[in-house]
Amino acid sequence: MHGRPRKAPTDEEQEASSNKAVKLRDLQSQVLQFHRNKIYTKEAIEISAKLLESNPEHYTGWNYRKLAVEHLLDHLPENGVDSESIQSILDEELRLVENALKRNFKSYGAWHHRKWILSKGHSSTDRELRLLSKFQKLDSRNFHAWNYRRFISALKKIPDEEELQYTTNMIYDNFSNYSAWHNRSVLLSNLLEKGGKGYDDRGTVLGEEYEFVRNALFTDPDDQSGWFYHLWLLEQTLQREPLFLSSWPPNGSTLCLSIDGYLNSQQSWPMLHFQSKARTFPLILYFSEAVEGVSSSTVTVESEYNAGGDLIWRPLSPKKFGFSQAWLTDLKFSDKVHSLESCPVKITVAHFPGIISSSGMPCSQSCHLSFTVCVPANDQERSEVQTAHRISLEEENFKALATQSEEAKLVHSLSKLEIEKVNRPTTCKQSLETISNEIAHCQELLSSTDCKIGKLTLARLWMARNTLITYGSTDDGTEVHYEDILALYRDLMKMDPVHICYYEDEYSLALWKQATSNLVSLLKHCYQYQETSSSPSMNPSLCVRLNGLSLSRIGSMEHLLWVQMLDLSHNKLRSIEGLETLQLLSCLNLSNNKICSFTALEPLKKLKSLQVLDISNNEIGAHSIDTRRYLCSSPLNHALVSEWHFDKFASDDVTLKDHWDAYLIFDDLNLIQLEIMGNAIVDDRLRSFLFKLMPSLKWIDGESKCD
């Protein structure tokens, strides 16, 4: 029971409870014996009743009972098989369950047994409903009762409309009844899916529900039940198809495959360079939400010089198994292609419905995108392998972009999401109206009540509105200023410090959106990086800097698929989920963040192009119990085990116990430069281990291998 202070039991109490325990154990062993020996006599059954009435949690006891019932039913005398005798056997069970429930109202075993009996079909469902009403009067929120109610309704085939009315009555009684609201959402989902009388117009039905719950929100804004239901309603309103957003290579670009080049040479739209010895390059498709079903049957790649065979698409960020926002495949161009030939590639996405979001909505919008690939002349002549230079990442090496510069234009082109959409999705006007309506009401409420859930809801509503506008066809510029949203989250962090991590994450997402989805703001974050101390022949690189913004989380990548150099230093990142999408990333700065384990770097394993990594001044190894250390795909995952070659690196100094996570992450990487100092875990042993692990690695913390 909640809220009862614990008191040390008195001697008498202890004695009484140990006596009870003895009796109970005795009963238990008896029942187990009956069970094993399949004894179903009247006495045995009575003993089991005694046991279950005093300990309804005894799972095996219930199983025994079920077997006993079956036994009894099977052994009814020939002429005695009528519904009455069956009923009396079953009624006895129901009576037992009732007694057990009196003891512990929330016993799973008891409820399950009751369901089992009812499924046999001889018992009165009316009586069950009456019993349920009684239970729910006593405690209207008990989820067992509600669960059971759903079961009985299904059994009795009570129409959902009737059950909906029941929840309405319960809510009228006490609108704090979270379970009633929840049941309502379940029933409405069914009704809306089935359609039918009164439920075919989704917008109207949801509108009535908004009105209904609004009364609760205004009457008592501090009561959470109404807000949770409101959230569900918003999810229903915002439900939409997944959209194909962006790709790399971008639509209309020309990709030059090259063999050499450390950092890609100066690019200028539409020419993009990609270094690949194997003549393959990644094709990345990015969607508005996690989807599954991206395969060669749902995405067609038309190109003359395709190396042939079905393409294998891999999800890039498997949070939910098989679902991902970003999908990757490698396009290989055969050797037969000669230099300077341009090969147009046309991609058609989703021309069958087959790509489905995790909420079950299909992507029905078909898109085309096309780009050109050219393979330059065999550059064996330029045999001089460019020596890699160490990158210092010093502040002075960054220069802001001039607005009309080539780079700016490049960014401009890269960040536009121009995809030829065959079926333009229409922004549901109704959804937009509903959201605007809810925003107005929310603001009305907040004008007189300082309520944190209200503020959170308003922030979510504003974000949702922006999303609807940007992803829909109406880009009428009525987006909400992100500054307002950020201000709300800052308020919330102060008002509700308990949930500060959540607010920081939402804040980061909003900030990320603000920074990247608008060209003007994106340009502010683009810099030219040039190593002043190195040879001027090194071309300046384009770097996106999102440092020092208090980001705790990484946001949507749709505008950043092209990024090769990314600065995320001086933030609050604990996790870098989302970075795996940036397949072109070659230089990544994560210094001065809150990364506290190697396993948090798991997303980097997919970045084949990554060469420079700065994770200095984080918190790896700072805590003796690293709570995030084990939040990774299991090292015992069968896919990895076959590749487990740790023994190669084991030595007296380097043990599996200490370094398995570093191994896990760095084994896949081909880093040239690594900054790692300022983390508690770093020591010489680790450094030497890493040098051994990554043959390409030249510098750790500025010290070269040979030092």
Partner 1 sequence: MASRRRVLLKVIILGDSGVGKTSLMNQYVNRKFSNQYKATIGADFLTKEVQFEDRIFTLQIWDTAGQERFQSLGVAFYRGADCCVLVYDVNVAKSFDNLNNWREEFLIQASPPDPENFPFVVLGNKIDVDGGNSRVVSEKKAKAWCASKGNIPYFETSAKEGFNVEAAFECIAKNALKNEPEEELYLPDAIDMAGGQQQRSAGCEC
Partner 2 sequence: MEEAESYPPIDPSNFDLIVIGTGLPESIVASAASAAGKTVLHLDSNPFYGSHSASLPLNDFIPFIQSESQPQSRNLTSDDYVSTPVATRPLYSAVETNSYSSEPTENSRKFNLDLAGPRVLLCSDSMIDLILKTGINQYMEFKSVDASFISSADGGLENVPDSRSAIFKNRGLSLTEKNQLMKFFKLVQRHLGDDETEDDKISDQDLESPFVEFLTKIGLSQKLKSIILYTIVLADYDQENLEACKDVISTKSGISRLALYHSSIGRFPNANGAIIYPIYGQGELPQAFCRRAAVKGCIYVLRMPVVAILNDKDSGEYKGIKLVSGQELFSPKLIIAPSFTIPSTPNHDAQVANSDDVSLSDTKKVARGICITKHSLNTQVANCLVFFPPRSLYLEQSTSVRVLQLSSNVAVCPSGMFVTYLSAMCDDNVQGKKLLNAAINALFSVPISGNSENSGASNLSEHAEEKPCLLWSTLYIQELTTFQGGLDSISKTPMPDEHLHYTDLLDATEKIFKEIYPNEEFFPSINVSNDDEGGGSELDS
Residue 173 interacts with partner 2 (CB under 8 A)?
A: yes
Which structure tokens are listed for 695? 């043959």
Min dist CB 179 to partner 1, Å, is: 10
Residue 535 interacts with partner 2 (CB under 8 A)?
A: no
Residue 449 interacts with partner 2 (CB under 8 A)?
A: yes
612 binds, among partner 2, partner 1, none (CB under 5 to 8 A by kind): none
Site size for partner 2, by CB under 8 A?
Answer: 16
Is 13 or 139 the residue whose CB approaches partner 1 more closely?
A: 139
Given its phi and psi angles, is residue 309 left (phi above 0), alpha (psi -120 to 50 degrees) or beta?
A: left
Stretch that binds partner 2, among 19-27, 62-70, 437-445, 510-518 (CB under 8 A): 437-445
Q: DSSP assignment, residue 403? A: T
Is 223 or 406 the residue whose CB approaches partner 2 more closely?
A: 223
Min dist CB 444 to partner 2, Å, is: 7
Min dist CB 142 to partner 1, Å, is: 8
Half-sphere CA count of 665, side-chain side, radius 13 A: 21
141 binds, among partner 2, partner 1, none (CB under 5 to 8 A by kind): partner 1
Residue 228 interacts with partner 2 (CB under 8 A)?
A: no
* Residue found under tokens 């409101």: 230
Which structure tokens are listed for 285? 């498709």
Residue 172 interacts with partner 2 (CB under 8 A)?
A: yes
- Angle of helix 500-516 relative to helix 452-471, nearest 10 degrees, comes to 30
Is 216 or 665 the residue whose CB approaches partner 2 more closely?
A: 216
Q: Specify which residues 699 forms β-bridges with.
A: 673, 704
For strands 587-589 and 271-275, give the pairing.
unpaired
d(C-alpha 622, C-alpha 606), whole Å: 26
Stretch that binds partner 2, among 194-202, 219-227, 409-417, 534-542 (CB under 8 A): 219-227
The Cβ of residue 132 has, within 10 Å, a number of other Cβ atoms equal to 17
Is 211 or 683 the residue whose CB approaches partner 2 more closely?
A: 211
Residue 379 interacts with partner 2 (CB under 8 A)?
A: no
Residue 218 interacts with partner 2 (CB under 8 A)?
A: yes
Cα radius of gyration (the chain): 32
Min dist CB 209 to partner 1, Å, is: 24
Q: For residue 706, give Cα distances in angstroms to 203, 534, 691, 703.
A: 69, 21, 10, 8
Is 111 or 663 the residue whose CB approaches partner 1 more closely?
A: 111
Report the C-alpha dihedral over residues 609, 611, 612, 617, rounded to 10 degrees.
Answer: 80
**All residues at 6 or more sequence positions from 545 whose CB lies less than 8 Å from its CB, including other chains:** 398, 525, 526, 527, 566, 567
Residue 220 interacts with partner 2 (CB under 8 A)?
A: yes
Min dist CB 174 to partner 1, Å, is: 11
Q: For residue 105, give Cα distances in angstroms to 100, 132, 153, 215.
A: 8, 12, 20, 32
**What is the distance, to the nearest Å, from the Cα of residue 657 to the centroid of all Cα atoms in its chain?**
30
449 binds, among partner 1, partner 2, none (CB under 5 to 8 A by kind): partner 2
106 binds, among partner 1, partner 2, none (CB under 5 to 8 A by kind): partner 1
Residue 444 interacts with partner 2 (CB under 8 A)?
A: yes
d(C-alpha 463, C-alpha 470), whole Å: 11
d(C-alpha 648, C-alpha 701), whole Å: 24
Residue 448 interacts with partner 2 (CB under 8 A)?
A: yes
One residue of 31, 145, 152, 216 binding partner 2 per CB under 8 A: 216
Helix%, strand%, coil% for the chain, nearest 5? 45, 15, 40
Min dist CB 7 to partner 2, Å, is: 23
What residues make contact with partner 1 under the rule CB under 8 A? 1-2, 106, 138-143
Residue 214 interacts with partner 2 (CB under 8 A)?
A: yes
Is 222 or 335 the residue whose CB approaches partner 2 more closely?
A: 222
Binding site for partner 2 (CB under 8 A): 172-175, 214-216, 218-221, 441, 444-445, 448-449
